[in-house]
């Protein structure tokens, strides 16, 4: 059974994720958080391909992103990306995400994702909005 309130994804840190000092390069967290969002949607039964197949096609763009780096993660660490819906709007959603190594938080993010078609905001595709409607927004991840 999927816990619809809080999604977790474990990832191992590889050499390619780190900088010259052996710590995770700051931009790597963008990829980690993206994977967390994608797997969260997949576990909710949301097929993102549905949006690309719509006519006209719908794309998703990050319109706002705020990351706080708390502690360094290093090569071979296993981190857990937690993703939680904060707010669902007609054409966008706000997510809280947290990267943790065990009980220690290494980074936190708040992400706003918008639904666009032809460069303009559009309502989330019906299939995706229905999948997201089963999740109760919360203010904490």
73-96 residue pLDDT tens: 999 999 999 999 999 988 999 999
Q: Is residue 22 part of a domain?
A: yes
User: Is residue 2 assigned to a domain?
Assistant: no
In a domain, residue 110? The reply is: yes
Q: Which residues are catalytic?
A: 19
In which domain, by residue range, is 48 found? 7-132
139 within some domain = no
Per-residue pLDDT tens digits for 20-79: 999 999 999 999 999 999 999 888 887 777 767 777 788 889 999 999 999 999 999 999
Output the domain CATH number for residue 26: 3.10.129.10
Residue 1 within a domain: no
58 in any annotated domain = yes
**Rg over CA atoms, the chain:** 16
Backbone angles phi, psi at 125, to 5 degrees: -55, 145
- At 128, list the tokens: 């995706």
Number of domains the chain contains: 1
């Amino acid at each position: 059974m999927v816990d619809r309130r809080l999604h977790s994804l474990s990832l191992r840190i590889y050499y390619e994720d780190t900088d010259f000092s052996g710590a995770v390069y700051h931009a790597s967290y963008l990829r980690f958080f993206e994977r967390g969002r994608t797997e969260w949607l997949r576990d909710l039964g949301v097929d993102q391909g549905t949006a690309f197949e719509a006519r006209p096609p719908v794309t998703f763009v990050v319109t706002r992103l705020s990351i706080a780096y708390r502690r360094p993660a290093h090569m071979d660490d296993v981190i857990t990306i937690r993703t939680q819906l904060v707010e669902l709007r007609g054409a966008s959603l706000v997510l809280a995400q947290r990267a943790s190594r065990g009980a220690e938080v290494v980074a936190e993010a708040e992400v706003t994702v918008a639904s666009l078609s032809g460069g303009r905001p559009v309502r989330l595709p019906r299939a995706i909005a229905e999948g997201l409607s089963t999740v109760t927004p919360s203010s904490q991840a």
